[in-house]
Amino acid sequence: MDWSRSRVPLPAFAAFACCLLVMMLGGSVVPVEASHEIYPELQSVSVTNIKKVHRTGYHFQPPKHWINDPNGPMVYKGIYHLFYQYNPKGAVWGNIIWAHSVSRDLVNWKALEPAIYPSKHFDIGGCWSGSATILPGDRPVILYTGLDKDAIEMQNYAIPSDLTDPYLRHWTKPDDNPLIYPTEGINASAFRDPTTAWFSGGYWKTVIGSRHRRRGIAHLYRSKDFLHWVKAKHPLHSVPNTGNWECPDFFPVLKEGKNGLDTSSLGENVRHILKVSLDETRYEYYTIGTYDPKMDKYIPDNTSADGWDGLRLDYGNFYASKTFFDSNKNRRILWGWANESDPKENDTAKGWSGIQTIPRTMWLDSNGKQLMHWPIEEIEMLRGNKVELGKTTLKKGEHVEVKGITAAQADVEVVFSFSDLNVAEKFNPSWGAAHTICAQKGSNVPGGVGPFGIMTLATEDFYEYTPVFFRIFKVKNNMHKVVLCSDARPSSYAPGLYKPAFAGFVDVNVTNGKLSLRSLIDNSVVESFGAGGKTCITSRVYPQKAIYDNAHLFAFNNGMAVITVEKLTAWSMKNANRNVRGRI
Ligand code: DQQ
């Protein structure tokens, strides 16, 4: 089964079965705890033909082959660097190296030579995810997970070979690697993805994802010189029954305002975020909390659930994300990987798999209870032809087409208003998670207020469409539950696709009668931002008919209450230059 479709906690059993097998064979080999579904027969199938349909126009992707996690994003001498997990030989996971691209604007990218690839005893089995830290004196250093020949996971460092080259084309892996080896008591097959280090109390500190049985762990290590690292007695944080923690991210945010902070920032006006990627479900969760630098403990707020019911950066296809502090513009930027949702055979036939989501600026909501996201302002440079829809009312069952843009590749911003919240359906807490509600009711089952929203990547006759929409429910007087859905089920009828009805609650006060939505539509991806970036959902979809000029965009309402499109602005989006060789 393709892991992207697996939502059952199978890996714990798989790991157990794997250990048992190794024990039965009497081997001393550490079993690799599969981080990705592995298809050995396809890993090195070279690609001759690239299928263009469904390739994105302005999301980050290389010309061909498999990509996964964003690694070590940073800005150095004004140039943005993005490294990423890449298979140079095929369109499924395998042969993983750190590919490297650079940009001046986070939109147009130039591909450089791979930065890190297996070559030494401490990474010959793989160069897995990690982060960049800028040391004093403007000296970047990468911490990454290397696997040795026995698949033992350890943490290594790499440094630029020439600090005067702003492109940092060449990286050296010094001989004193590995820096951090899994000592007694550490799960050597689940010990990976070191974070950007922060400095406090005279020590550099980094966190490494792991697990002990099903307890997810963020192991903490300290170093005075970045070379000698000692494991702290207690992890920074751990939670039972959450399985292996991959790609942790730990960073400060300001209590107020949208500016970002350097990863080492502390103080009265600062909160901390701990994000973990849960291997068992391939979803990510974060908490907001307090970091005590003396005790080196992270204490999540009790308003912020810790584990399966917690806050998500994105309620869709989004994993292994990583942030960095952009000192160019004083903001914290989030990258995430959006895997394909089609079968592996299609990926091999397409010759490519995986994209990075549009980088997002991230800050703490003024209520202190969640993060906010918004696509980086630079993406607006790709906006081309613009159309506007003035005030338009939509009665139940009505839709209106937004004409005059390339609907397959567009940016759309809309503000909806509704006058009668009294007709909202009563919320039933037994419905459970937002995606259950979305899956049951979809975009066609009429409600009181909603479903209303936009239909992206739609054919004219609605044979195919990917609706992104709200439903508002009444909890009690003046208290409402808002659900944002991005429903891939009607997006295509090609066989074998993973087509979830993704959804998240939107923590917003709707008594002012308004809700906003922005969607970035790019051929096979729809990234949506509800209520100014309170709830985000990324869907991967593969329409068969709603492609290129046959794709249409509509605003719609299928609820009892009349909905008004107060304002809708949509732009055709131009192609970005992505990963071609040449000047940036
Ligand atoms: N991907 C990397 C690992 C990480 C996983 C391997 C998350 O380092 O844990 O490609 O997608």
Tell me, using a 6 A CB cutoff, whether residue 414 lines ligand 1: no
For the cut 60, the answer to whether the pLDDT of residue 503 exceeds it is: yes
For the cut 60, the answer to whether the pLDDT of residue 25 exceeds it is: no
What confidence score (pLDDT) does residue 4 get? 32
Q: Are strands 355-356 and 331-338 parallel, antiparallel or unpaired?
A: antiparallel
What 3-state class would DSSP assign to 277?
strand
CB 198 within 8 A of CB 264: yes
What confidence score (pLDDT) does residue 8 get? 28
**Ligand 1 centre distance from Cα of residue 578 (Å):** 23
What confidence score (pLDDT) does residue 5 get? 31
pLDDT in tens, 330-342: 999 999 999 999 9
What confidence score (pLDDT) does residue 35 get? 64
What confidence score (pLDDT) does residue 308 get? 72
pLDDT-based confidence at 580, cuts 50/70/90?
A: confident
pLDDT-based confidence at 521, cuts 50/70/90?
A: very high
pLDDT-based confidence at 20, cuts 50/70/90?
A: very low
**Residue indicated by tokens 């009265």:** 268
**Ligand 1 centre distance from Cα of residue 97 (Å):** 11
pLDDT in tens, 424-439: 999 999 998 999 999 9
Task: Give the pLDDT mean for 56-80.
Answer: 97
**Ligand 1 centre distance from Cα of residue 125 (Å):** 13
Q: Compute the radius of gyration of the chain from its Cα atoms.
A: 23
227: Cβ contacts below 8 Å, ≥ 6 apart:
176, 179
What confidence score (pLDDT) does residue 3 get? 30
Which domains are assigned to the chain? Answer: 3-58+66-375 (2.115.10.20), 382-573 (2.60.120.560)
How does the average pLDDT of the chain come out, rounded?
Answer: 92
**Residue indicated by tokens 């009497």:** 26
How far apart, in whole angstroms, are the C-alpha atoms of residue 141 and residue 154? 16
Tell me, using a 6 A CB cutoff, whether residue 69 lines ligand 1: yes
Three-state SS for 177-206 is: CCCECCCCCCCCCCEECCCCCEEECCEEEE
Closest approach atom of ligand 1 to CA 247: 9
What confidence score (pLDDT) does residue 21 get? 34
pLDDT-based confidence at 34, cuts 50/70/90?
A: low
pLDDT-based confidence at 581, cuts 50/70/90?
A: low
For the cut 60, the answer to whether the pLDDT of residue 398 exceeds it is: yes
Per-residue burial over 555-577, b = 16 or more CB atoms within 10 Å of its CB, e = otherwise? bbbbbbbbbbbbbbbbbbbeebe
Among the listed ranges 12-21, 218-227, 532-541, which one has the minimum average pLDDT value?
A: 12-21
pLDDT in tens, 102-117: 999 999 999 999 999 9
What percentage of the chain has pLDDT greater than the value 90? 86
**Ligand 1 centre distance from Cα of residue 34 (Å):** 9
* Cα→Cα distances 506→218, 300, 314, 411, Å: 29, 21, 12, 21
For the cut 50, the answer to whether the pLDDT of residue 9 exceeds it is: no
CB 546 within 8 A of CB 352: no
Q: Is the peptide bond before 451 cis (omega within 30 degrees of 0)?
A: yes
Closest approach atom of ligand 1 to CA 193: 8
How far apart, in whole angstroms, are the C-alpha atoms of residue 397 and residue 553? 16
pLDDT in tens, 528-579: 999 999 999 999 999 999 999 999 999 999 999 999 999 999 999 999 998 7
Most confident of 82-86, 477-481, 577-581: 82-86
Tell me, using a 6 A CB cutoff, whether residue 339 lines ligand 1: no
CB 442 within 8 A of CB 540: no
Which tokens is 563 given?
A: 């909905």
DSSP 41-89: GGTT--------TT--SSSB--SSEEEEEEEEEEEETTEEEEEEEE-TT
Tell me, using a 6 A CB cutoff, whether residue 304 lines ligand 1: no
Which secondary structure element, helix H or strand E, spans residue 435, and what is its range? helix 434-441
How far apart, in whole angstroms, are the C-alpha atoms of residue 87 and residue 338? 16
Residue type for 132, please? A
480: Cβ contacts below 8 Å, ≥ 6 apart:
421, 424, 427, 472, 473, 474, 510, 511
Task: Give the pLDDT mean for 158-163.
Answer: 98
Residue with CA at minimum distance from ligand 1 atom 7: 320
Tell me, using a 6 A CB cutoff, whether residue 346 lines ligand 1: no
**Ligand 1 centre distance from Cα of residue 306 (Å):** 22
CA of residue 95 relative to chain centroid, distance:
22
What confidence score (pLDDT) does residue 309 get? 75
For the cut 90, the answer to whether the pLDDT of residue 63 exceeds it is: yes
pLDDT-based confidence at 28, cuts 50/70/90?
A: very low
pLDDT-based confidence at 228, cuts 50/70/90?
A: very high
For the cut 80, the answer to whether the pLDDT of residue 303 exceeds it is: no
What confidence score (pLDDT) does residue 33 get? 62
Which residue among the candidates 2, 69, 342, 461 is catalytic per the annotation?
A: 69
pLDDT-based confidence at 306, cuts 50/70/90?
A: confident
What confidence score (pLDDT) does residue 10 get? 31
How far apart, in whole angstroms, are the C-alpha atoms of residue 264 and residue 234? 20
For the cut 70, the answer to whether the pLDDT of residue 22 exceeds it is: no
114: Cβ contacts below 8 Å, ≥ 6 apart:
86, 88, 97, 98, 99, 100
What confidence score (pLDDT) does residue 432 get? 87
Tell me, using a 6 A CB cutoff, whether residue 208 lines ligand 1: no
CB 221 within 8 A of CB 248: no
CB 346 within 8 A of CB 329: no
Is 69 a residue of the active site?
yes
pLDDT-based confidence at 355, cuts 50/70/90?
A: very high
Which tokens is 195 given?
A: 């974070």
Is 294 exposed, middle or buried, given 0-12, 13-18 or 19+ CB atoms closer than 10 A? exposed
CB 216 within 8 A of CB 242: yes
Tell me, using a 6 A CB cutoff, whether residue 145 lines ligand 1: yes
Give backbone dihedrals phi and psi of 22, rounded to 5 degrees, phi first: -65, -40
How far apart, in whole angstroms, are the C-alpha atoms of residue 27 and residue 33? 16
What confidence score (pLDDT) does residue 110 get? 96
For the cut 60, the answer to whether the pLDDT of residue 305 exceeds it is: yes
Going by C-alpha positions, the residue among 40, 37, 36 that lies closest to residue 1 is 37
